[in-house]
Amino acid sequence: MAKTVAQRQATYRAKRPFSGKDDNGERRINTWVNTGTYLALERLARRSGITKREMLERLVVAEDERIRATLINDDLWDAYHEPPALRSNHSSRHAKTDDTKTASSRSDRIVTA
C-alpha cells in the first residue's frame, strides 16, 4: 500500500539527523530575526549567488573557525565546547515584576469623574 503524505514526511524527517555530505546530519533552526538582519542575509546570499541557508552556514562556520584558532590551551578549548547552561525560569534577569506595585502605580494615575 502506498504511503500517505504524513508517512512520507515522517520518514523524511527521521532521516534528516543522519543526512548530509558527512553523514553528521542536519539540525533544524526555527527562529525569528529582526528585519534588518533578514534583509542583510538576503543581500549577502544574493550577492554570492547562494541560498540564505548556505550563507548562514558559511558565516557561522567562519566565525566558529576564527574563535577556535584562538583557543591556545585545553582549558579554553573545553570552556568553548562545553554545553551552555540553560537559563532558569527563576533567574533575576527574567524575574516577573511585582504586579501589586504595577497595579497600584497605575491606579494612582486613574482620574475619576
Q: 34-86, pLDDT tens digit by residue?
A: 999 999 999 999 999 999 999 999 999 999 999 999 999 999 999 998 887 77
Determine, yes or no, domain membership for 69. yes
Determine, yes or no, domain membership for 8. no
Tally of domains in the chain? 1
Q: Which domain holds residue 77?
A: 51-82
Determine, yes or no, domain membership for 59. yes
**C-alpha cell belonging to residue 51:** 541560498
Determine, yes or no, domain membership for 64. yes
Cα 95 versus chain centre, distance: 22
More confident residue, 69 or 22: 69
